[in-house]
Amino acid sequence: MTEDVKQQSTEQEVETQQEVVEEVAASIDDDIEIVEETVVSLDPLEEAQARIAELEATIVQQQENILRAKADLENLRRRSQEEVTKTHKYASESFAKELLAVKDSLEAALAQEDQALESLLEGVQTTLKQLNGVFERHKVKEIAPVVGDAFDPNVHQAISTIPSDAPANHIAQVLQKGYLMSERVLRPALVMVSMGQSK
């Protein structure tokens, strides 16, 4: 019986030790899970910090790109403005140079004494051809309405309205030609507009 008691006691001790071992093993498993969770939670944190650092570097790069683009745009705007200024400043230079030849011709004609009327008339006609050539090269065109044309306020300037045989709101008399330069009105034609036949 003593042996049975010893065996029971030994079995109880083994069971107790087994329970303790199982408890310790379970405790160790719990500790391992906690450590793994901590490690897992550290990985996303490190990833997030790395991603934040990467995004901050991208932001800095984009800000530099924006500043560079702004500087390029400002330089382009400044150069364009300089070109426009130069174009305005020197646009009429070529036109003026060609008009100097017309002026020279007129002065030469006036400088000649005792010239025949026919010779003077021929010189004036030649000078007018020269002037018309200058106008043509610089796209200066006449606005030369005729009596009966419809009045167009874009290219005609009405001085007054008069009764005439022309229909109402049509040109009754042309006082002065107008001129266009590259389709832009330099001077409108001066006209008198018909108010229709008087009754």
3-state SS class at 1: coil
Helices (H), 112-194: 117-137
Instruction: Please give the radius of gyration of the chain, using alpha carbons only, rounded to the nearest integer.
Output: 51
Confidence (pTM): 0.53
Tell me the per-residue pLDDT of 107-120, one tens digit each, with 9 for 90 and over: 888 888 887 888 88
**Widest CA span in the chain:** 171
Measure the CA–CA gap between 90 and 174, rounded to whole angstroms: 34
Tell me the per-residue pLDDT of 129-178, one tens digit each, with 9 for 90 and over: 999 999 998 899 999 999 999 999 999 999 999 998 888 999 999 999 99
Domain range 139-199, its CATH number among 3.40.50.300, 1.10.3720.10, 2.30.22.10, 1.10.260.40: 2.30.22.10
Tell me the per-residue pLDDT of 23-45, one tens digit each, with 9 for 90 and over: 767 777 776 776 666 555 557 78
